[in-house]
Structure 1
Amino acid sequence: MSSERQARLADRIRVLIAERLEKGLRDPRLGFVTITDVRVTGDLQHASVFYTVLGTDQERADSAEALAAATGMLRSEVGRQLGVRMTPSLEFIPDAIPENADHIASLLREARERDEAVATLAAGATHAGEADPYVKPREPEAD
């Protein structure tokens, strides 16, 4: 199987699931879910669907349960619209992109604050020792 076919199938599955979620499921636990990526195995038998949920930790957990409960229905709908001989099994995996982005942003903010503190200290600092620390040849003493 070509990786090009894998990529096309993954992209089509992502669009189909996103469209179905946009229409809404009858599950009240489902929050604001965004499908971020789909990866299909080389034999086209399994699709890992990565998603994010906007909201609290509880809303993320509820949405994960709702997606797990709707997996069979989503798989049958994907199979019906794909028209392939074998519909891949679906696995929903929470995507850690937002958490990682928040962590990186906080690290960058901390680094910027430390740089500003160092710059403030450096502004009022003086050199330790002599102003010109390099050794110069001695001048002959006059008698």
Structure 2
Amino acid sequence: MAGERQARLADRIRVLIAERLEKGLRDPRLGFVTITDVRVTGDLQHASVFYTVLGSDEERASTAQALKAATGMLRSEVGKGLGVRLTPSLEFIPDGIPENAGHIEELLREARERDQAVAGLAAAAQHAGDPDPYVKPRDDED
């Protein structure tokens, strides 16, 4: 029951923050942000908000500063939207998914190249030993 409430609250917080960020903040440091996940603690007092930023490392850093500066305002907006007695504190955490996805893509590309190289070697390979490996009865001509 509590887990279900946590999940509903987390989902609602994700939607409220995403909608607010879509409208924009008055902070030029804010880049193109996507809220990827929200996790709420069991006591419903704290929400970890995971996000990604499209762009360079510099844009990610400036967006992190903008979100940190806007945390209080975003928390009060979330509080109004939730209509709960205690609004959870918000913590913005950069999500490593895009970097991991890029790394996984690179690994998959390498694996495909190696598979092609092995297939090329296999096509030109010959069996070791005789072409017909089965022992045949000898014809004794005594």
What is the TM-score with the length of structure 1 in the denominator?
Answer: 0.94
The 2-side partners of 1:10 and 1:18 are apart by 12
1:10-49 residue CA offsets vs partner (Å, 9 max, x unmatched) = 0110011001101110111000000011010110000000
Tell me what 1:78 maps to: 78
Tell me what 1:102 maps to: 102
The 2-side partners of 1:133 and 1:33 are apart by 65
| Runs of 4 or more consecutive aligned structure 1 residues displaced over 6 Å after TM superposition | none
SS of equivalent to 2:133: coil
> Unaligned regions of 5+ residues in structure 1, if any?
none
1:1-143 mapped onto 2 (5 Å cutoff): 2-134=2-134, 136=135, 138-143=137-142
SS of equivalent to 1:120: helix
What is the TM-score with the length of structure 2 in the denominator?
Answer: 0.95
1:57-97 residue CA offsets vs partner (Å, 9 max, x unmatched) = 11001101110111111111111221111110001011111
Q: Using the TM superposition, give the Cα deviation of residue 133 of structure 1 relative to its aligned residue in structure 2, in angstroms.
A: 3.0
Q: Using the TM superposition, give the Cα deviation of residue 132 of structure 1 relative to its aligned residue in structure 2, in angstroms.
A: 2.6
SS of equivalent to 1:52: strand
SS of equivalent to 1:126: coil
* RMSD of Structure 2 on Structure 1 (CA): 1.2
The 1-side partners of 2:137 and 2:132 are apart by 15
The 1-side partners of 2:137 and 2:80 are apart by 93
For 2:98, give the aligned amino acid: P
